[in-house]
Amino acid sequence: MADTFNVNEYWLKRGHSYFKEGRPEEFHQLQEEFLLKVLQDSQIAMGNILELGCGFGRITKRLSEAFPESRITAVDLSSDQLEHARGFCGENKNVAFQQYDFYSGKPIPGGPYDTVIAVEVFLHHPRPLVRNIFEKLAGIAAHVVNIDWSEDWPWETPEHVWVHDFASVYSDAGLRCVCFALPGKIEGMQQKLFIASRKLEPSLIHLERQVERSQKAKGPAGGESEPESEVVHWPKQLGSAIKELRRTLAMGTTFILVNNDEWGNESRALAGYKVIPFLEHDGQYWGPPADDRTALRELERLQGLGATHIVFAWSAFWWLDYYAGFCRFLRETCPVLLENERLIIFELVSDASAANFHVQTHA
């Protein structure tokens, strides 16, 4: 990781239009259901909840539905994301949204809290910051719960990702924790749920052992864990995609890459090409477009800057359903050079006007 990488700048940019995550919906459902089940089985107090990094409100909404009597404070750095979350969660009197910057040095708002929850938040911050947050939380909350990646990735992580040994970070912050492996993997990798406290109740340790025994007994054939043979393993998928891309596009090609900024190694793996993220601002990824018209307008702008192709990676295939008008323009006007389970590559046609293509915007 470059020491100069600005975490806040990155997430403020993505916050403009980051309203859908690229991982499969089934995995998010598994993640949410596992979180709620462990919280309920743990019997830890849920009267006053703080959610860190609420984003567009995916977890916030599930918490408000599962614990309707709780008071939930949901915080995020991005005012854009907080606005998305308010809209996504609707009228809900037990949820309050507030802006908070981890790096500000200011106290965490509100408290005391029964439970603090963060789902895929701490992996986006370096260890010293995470430890500092844990130390602050230890003073205002009885329990801290997080779901994150907790194993080294077998490929190089993007610059906005850090994979932590959370048991060690919690220990450094003066907290003890129990750990629960999610009963299904995403792209061959394991996520884990941690519950940490200054004084860990014996009931939590018992629950940890109980869940572990249950998962071992069920095994891959138990119906809850996805068999490893059926999992698409990210490094293999990425390696195949890069080879196919190189075979399809000539060296020196300028192309748009739609991959939710998840590859993390374009500059090395695609040396010799000019790769433009989408959306793009000052050469950096700017999050998905707000609507079809925005996507079409930006496509035409990038064509004017020399882009001759647009490439969709598998993790961004949801774009082709969500941005139906944008997809229709590509399908109707642009030859498909490659289409498989990893990549779709369109050749952009110079005389096809994206800006004048008629679309219906999302309501």
| Mean of the per-residue pLDDT values of the chain | 85
For residue 220, what is the DSSP state? G
Q: Return the pLDDT at 18.
A: 58
For residue 50, what is the DSSP state? E
For the ranges 53-62, 161-170, 178-187, the lowest mean pLDDT is seen at 178-187
Vertex 95 angle, CA 75 and 200, to 5°: 70
Q: Return the pLDDT at 24.
A: 60
pLDDT at 235 exceeding the cut of 90: no
CB-CB contact of 321 with 25 (8 Å): no
The predicted-structure confidence for 258-286, as pLDDT tens digits, reads as follows 988 878 666 677 889 999 999 888 888 88
Residue recorded with tokens 């939930």: 72
Residues 271 and 251: their CA atoms lie apart, in Å, by 9
In the structure, what pLDDT confidence band is assigned to residue 221 with cuts at 50, 70 and 90? Answer: very low
Residues 223 and 194: their CA atoms lie apart, in Å, by 23
Q: Which of 264, 52, 261 lies closest to 153 in space, CA to CA?
A: 264
Share of the chain above pLDDT 70, in %: 86
The predicted-structure confidence for 66-94, as pLDDT tens digits, reads as follows 999 999 999 999 998 999 899 989 888 89
Residues 143 and 113: their CA atoms lie apart, in Å, by 8
Residues 94 and 111: their CA atoms lie apart, in Å, by 15
pLDDT at 222 exceeding the cut of 50: no
**Residue ranges per domain, the chain?**
7-229, 234-347
Rounded to two decimals, the pTM is 0.68
Topology, domain 7-229: Rossmann fold (3.40.50)
For the ranges 3-7, 101-105, 229-233, 250-254, the lowest mean pLDDT is seen at 229-233
Residues 180 and 8: their CA atoms lie apart, in Å, by 30
What one-letter code names the amino acid at 221? A
- 269-to-62, 155, 159, 319 alpha-carbon distances in Å: 39, 12, 15, 24
Q: Return the pLDDT at 266.
A: 67
